[in-house]
Amino acid sequence: MVQVCIFAYGQTGSGKTYTMMGKPGRDQKGIIPRSLEQIFKTSQSLESQGWKYCMQASMLEIYNETIRDLLAPGRSSSEMPGGKQYTIKHDSQGNTTVSDLTTTNVFSTADVTSLLEKASHSRSVGKTQMNEQSSRSHFVFTLKIFGSNESTGQQVQGVLNLIDLAGSERLTKSGATGERLKETQAINKSLSALSDVIFAIAKNDDHVPFRNSKLTYLLQPCLGGDSKTLMFVNVSPEASSAGETLCSLRFASRVNACEIGVARRQTQSKSSSDNSNRLSYG
């Protein structure tokens, strides 16, 4: 199975959500709609070679270390914590499942656009000193791809995770109090856990602390082994954000030096091609 993961990292207001989602309805497409357009286009072009593909999408947020299903019927951003509990499970084949998470078959970019609009209205947001509409959670879009070739008997499977991380700014910069303070503390803790995992893998440590956060545990199969990982680092152009920008760029520099494994394409016929899996940033 091929696992691919793309993050958008940076302080609140630096353009992470715009990078990943774009502006729906304004012909300003982000990474998610552009990726899906390319995937559907490629899958259609391979039909002449005997390939048929099935694709399934899911969308969740991790808010205060709690998983929320953004496609659940009746879900809205005003939903309070304490609802359904979701459990992350990994199997020996590298498959990851989240119990009871809504998964939808998608056949076109229009299907995905409709789901993204629903998810965006369900995501947790709040006002901070950094942004009037600050995302207070990590958003994870997952596309599972299953392919089969009737002519050759080959089968392939892949997973694409596209992630809009919550803002990385320090507590003093966010000006958070009350519930916003609790959210910021949870965000920073999970981002710190992500850093710990990346650097532990890069150093070939015997123990990698995947279980220290829901985010890293969910993405465990994507952060090493047969996977490919990319991180976009977003920075604000404002002079007042220079300190946060410097922190983001320092983190990006460290991440760019990490090699976390080897990405392989695998089919039932055992054919494969290797590519160095450097965790890089753009």
pLDDT digits (tens, 9 = 90+) for 27-57: 788 999 999 999 999 999 999 999 999 999 9
| 84-115 CB burial, b ≥16 within 10 A, e <16 | eebebeeeeebebebeebbeeebeebebbbeb
pLDDT of residue 264: 58
Here the tokens at position 70 are 């953004």
pLDDT tens-digit map of 64-114:
999 999 999 876 554 544 568 899 999 988 789 999 999 999 999 999 999
Is the pLDDT higher at 234 or at 258? 234
- pLDDT of residue 161 exceeding 90, the answer is yes
pTM of the shown model? 0.85
Note whether residue 277 is domain-resident: no
Name the more confident of 23 and 165: 165
**In total, how many domains does the chain have?**
1
Instruction: Give backbone dihedrals phi and psi of 154, rounded to 5 degrees, phi first.
Output: -75, 150
pLDDT confidence tier of residue 267, bands split at 50, 70 and 90: low
Q: Does a structural domain hold residue 280?
A: no
In a domain, 10, yes or no: yes
| Domain range for 184 | 2-76+84-269
Q: How many CB atoms lie within 10 A of CB 248?
A: 22
Residue 276 maps to a domain: no
CATH number for position 118? 3.40.850.10
Instruction: Note the pLDDT of residue 169.
Output: 66
Tokens linked to 83: 């609802």
Q: Is the predicted pLDDT of residue 143 greater than 90, yes or no?
A: yes
Answer yes or no: is 19 within a domain: yes
Q: What digits encode the pLDDT tens for the residues 125-142?
A: 654 444 444 568 899 999
Residue 162 belongs to a domain: yes
Q: How many CB atoms lie within 10 A of CB 221?
A: 21
Tell me, what's the pLDDT at 40?
Answer: 96
The tokens for 194 are 């992500």
- Is a pLDDT exceeding 70 seen at residue 272? no
Task: Quote the mean pLDDT of the chain.
Answer: 83
Q: Annotated binding site: which residue ranges?
A: 10-17
Q: Which residues are annotated as a binding site for ATP?
A: 10-17
Residues 6+ apart with CB under 8 A from 118: 70, 71
